[in-house]
Each structure stands twice: as C-alpha cells, then as structure tokens.
Structure 1
C-alpha cells in the first residue's frame, strides 16, 4: 500500500486506493482518465465479444459521464463499506493501476466494478478463492475476464455485467432448461442464474472428460475458474496456425458428440472464437449459454454449433459436409472419456 507523505493523514481519514481513483471535484473532470492498456494484453475473447486490441486505448471519458461516475460511486465512502475496501484494496492493485500492473482504464472500472460486484469479490477474497485481480484478458457483451492470482497460482476471474441491456435475448437459454425452471425473472437475478449455469455446465463437461476450464468458485456475478495457459491466457482457435486442422476438427466433433450423448448438453454458441488452443489441443470455453438436450431449441443449437465447426474446417482448405458431420455427432458411438478434476 502506498505510504502517504506530507501532510500526514490520520488512519481514520486515510482514503483507500479505490476512493482515490474516483473524481472529487468538477475542476478535475477534464483530466485524462484513460491510460495505456496492460503491458501484456492477452488475445482470448468471450462469445459474442470483441478482441481487446493492443494498440487502441479507450476513448477519454466525456465530462458528463465523469460526473455521473462521481455520483455513481458516492456510496464507497460510506463507513460500512470503507472497512471492506481497506481490506481488499491490495488485491485490486491491478484494476486500480498500482503494483506491477501499471495500467488503469476508467471505463473498464466503471463498467465492471459496481457495488454488487465489489461485494462479491470481497466475499470470494474472504473465502481465500482469490488474492489479487490483475488485468483484463478478454471482454464481451456479457462479461469481462481478468487474469488473477490465488494461493494455488494464476486463475481467470469472469465478471458478468449487471446492466439490463447486456442480457437482452439471453433468457431463452434459461427458459426451457429444466435445471432452472421457474428461476428467470428480474435482471440481476438472471445474471446470478447465468453464472451458476456456467459453473454447473463446466462441471458437467469435465465429468465427461471434455476439455474446458475447471470451475473453482462463484458468488453472485463473479465466476472463478482455471486459467487455460501457462501463466498467461491461451490464444483462440481462430488466432493460431495448426499443422493438422482436420484432426482437430474430428476432435471437436467428438467432444460435441460426447457432450450431446453423454453429458446431455449442447454448447449453443460454439465457434472458433470460444475455443482456446493450449498444449496442442482445443479447449471449450464460454459455456454459460449451454442447455440440456431436453431444451425445446436444443437440436437447433446443435445444428448451429456443428455448422460453425464445418465452416471453420472448410476455411482451412477441406471439404467437410454438414450432413455427415451431424451424423457423426448424433449417431456414432462415443468413448467414455476419463473424468477431469472438478467434474461433477
């Protein structure tokens, strides 16, 4: 924690690092709040999301947005929250632009770290599931993913956005899933259900040996899972050159078939954008929208997933057929893959 110099501030009056990042007066509102992105920006992304570029800083906040942010975060100074922030501010050095990760992006902070999210992070830190949140590695319409650390090493922290606009149209992936029958409702509740859904889908996939991140913990809109990569996040399938792409295509078809026939799940948004390439093998990510094969649209989602895989392999110079690929997924016997840690 940074030591304060002259004039000294008593312990009871010392503001947290989080409070110092918030605007205090109108005279400061034109100050540039956007700085450069992290020194090491990863290239993985979320489904329906965008790549975070290395060379394009965020646009500067306009004055009106800045003043709104000031009002938005006034609650941080309330005594009941101040103690909590003093406890976790070291763990948030990355998102505050402190420590070894010399970056800060006000738009990311304002979009992601609202009161509910910070309370959820505090809870997970109290449980010992994470120690620090360092820098973003991916962003999407539904969530940001951050590189973080735990007592066991690097992890990925996926923070789902809590604004109403984010989850428009996603209720169809919950309504019709018998595991969550009658649970859809107001937006914040829907977000929490979505996190629980992704956690459970990951556990089910790993139970049946499908390569996907091991889920570790979750609370409200925050999900902690295994980081796929050696200290840094792996690249997406679309961003790598593969020596034997057709073998990878067959591997992906087999995983899709095992998911459908054994795990009774369909990803519902499978594509080269949410498959990571790690240690010479494809890994499935972003499974929050996955539904059981009892869902009324399950077969439609399955056809869409396989269609995208066929398009990917055909772009590599092959001529795969959708009909033949669907037969492989639906009818060919699939192996019993060994269960992966964290499966259930």
Structure 2
C-alpha cells in the first residue's frame, strides 16, 4: 500500500496553501521561477517520499535514457501534488517513462497494483489552452466558465474524464478512465510492456476498409447514443490495439447541444473519409455522412 506518513501534515493543510500560491509559483511562465517552490519544507518532504517512484521521469537508474528535461517541463508544483495524492490513494504506484506527447499533454507509462496505467499530464501554460474554450463554451455540462486559466485546465481534464466514461458506457473502444486530480488523468494503458500501441497512421493495416467501417460505427454510436461528437477525429488519435481501433484524446468532444456540434461532426466524417480514400477505400463523403445520421 502507499505510505501515508505525511497525510495529516500535507494533504489538507498543504492543499489549501498551494491552492493560494499556484497561480504565481506553481505554473511555468506565470511568475517566479519554475523551481523555487521546491525550497518549501513541505514540498521537500513530499518529494522525498515519492522520489523513488519517479525514477523513470527523473531519468535515473534503468531509465537513464529518459530526457530529464521532460520532468523539468511537466512536473511543476501542482502536478507533483496531484501525483502525490494519486500515489497515496493507491491509484498509481510509480510513474515510469514518457509514451506520448501532444500540444496539450504528456502521457506517461505508470504502474499500479491492478496493472499498468497511462498517466496523462496536461500542460499548465496559458498558451496551450487559449484556443480550447470553443470546445467548452456552449457545452451544457460546463456552464459558468469564468475564463480563469486555472479553472480552464481543471475543467478540460474533467471533461476528458467524463467523455471517456460516457463513451465507454455506450460500449465504445476508448481507454477506461480511472481517476482525475487537477491536471492529471489516470487511464487504461493500451500497449505492451515494450511500447504503447501504435497509431493507425503509423502502421500498414491488412484491411483498411474494415477499420473505416469501425470508425464510422464509433462516430455513429457516439452521436446517436452517447450524444457526443469527438470533434477532432483523425488517424492521429486512433490506436491499433489488440487488432482493433481504439479512440483516444476525447477532451474536446462535445454534446450535440453544442452550437458547433454539427460542424464538428461533418469535420470528423470528412477526416475519416479522407484517410480511408488514401488507403484505397471507396469513401464518398455525402453517403458516409448520411450513414452516420441515419444511425
């Protein structure tokens, strides 16, 4: 089990303290240096308790091939506190090495008592999330957005968590979402002990037409049953896992009530039709869109 030696001293008291300080010292590029918070006695204690569980991201031991700069870029004060809490709750045991990187987040391979996990850590810089409000404003689940950056990041992470739950409940192949804490999302890991599952754009598929049909089924069920549209579906966020396509990166998915939902739906269908056409599949856009809408 995860040690709780600092529970009383850090968990409640420290969370309140850090919440007050995080805007100016806990995030890169938002005042002060990105590491001065490490001098705080409570943060030093917390880091010492979990340091041996972060060998992969620290680039030490058998993970000396990992670029230490990734840790410096991603693991700020808020992120480390979230990782600490997730470890103490037993959600994850260790965070090992990076497996993916995108505009909004880094994804790391992690371990838990129940098996491997994917830990998605969302970047906390203002620039990253500036253009993403269009996927939140208009979604009835997230009313009252005050446009504060800190709130926006938290909402975005919880939005991806809820979207994953919603899609999985409709029987769709997406990673199971296990836990969320601030800018950290813990999900099912898709891959082997050696490497994560590849994207469909990076491999040669034996039957791209069958994969095209599966992707259309995803769009169709998501729209007609889960009441969601992915809003950024392409060959870049479809993994090939256990000989089947799995959809990832669903943070921007919106409900059909969103004012731009139909526009996003058309774009998703076009993206998949374009991909299929490049693979030699007959994928006329108008007919394909009609298939989706007719359910």
Which TM bucket (shorter chain)?
0.7 to 0.9
CA contact (8 A) 2:57 2:68 kept: no
Larger radius of gyration: 1
Matches within 5 A, 1:1-344: 71-231=33-193, 232-332=195-295
1:251 CA displacement:
1.1
Query: SS at the partner of 1:185?
Result: coil
Between stretches 302-311 and 71-80, larger displacement belongs to: 71-80
Higher helix share: 2
CA–CA separation in structure 2 for the residues paired with 1:281 and 1:105 = 32
1:95 CA displacement:
1.1
* Aligned residue in 2 for 1:9: none
Aligned residue-pair number = 264
1:107 CA displacement:
3.0
Between stretches 140-149 and 178-187, larger displacement belongs to: 178-187
CA RMSD of aligned residues (A): 1.4
1:171 CA displacement:
0.3
Q: Can you list the C-alpha shifts for 1:227-251, whole angstroms capped at 9, x where unaligned? A: 0123331000101111111111011
CA contact (8 A) 1:174 1:180 kept: yes
1:184 CA displacement:
4.3
1:106 CA displacement:
3.8
Q: Provide TM-score, normalisation by structure 1.
A: 0.75
CA–CA separation in structure 2 for the residues paired with 1:324 and 1:158 = 36
CA contact (8 A) 2:59 2:68 kept: no
CA–CA separation in structure 2 for the residues paired with 1:278 and 1:72 = 37
CA contact (8 A) 1:164 1:187 kept: yes
Q: 1:298 to 1:177 in 2, by over 3 A?
A: same
Query: SS at the partner of 1:153?
Result: coil
CA contact (8 A) 1:95 1:103 kept: no
CA contact (8 A) 1:259 1:266 kept: yes
The unaligned stretches of length 5 or more in structure 1 are: 1-69, 333-344
* Aligned residue in 2 for 1:21: none
Q: Can you list the C-alpha shifts for 1:176-222, whole angstroms capped at 9, x where unaligned? A: 00000113421111001000000000000000000000001010000
Stretches of 4+ moved more than 2 A in 1?
103-107
Q: Provide TM-score, normalisation by structure 2.
A: 0.87
1:77 CA displacement:
2.3
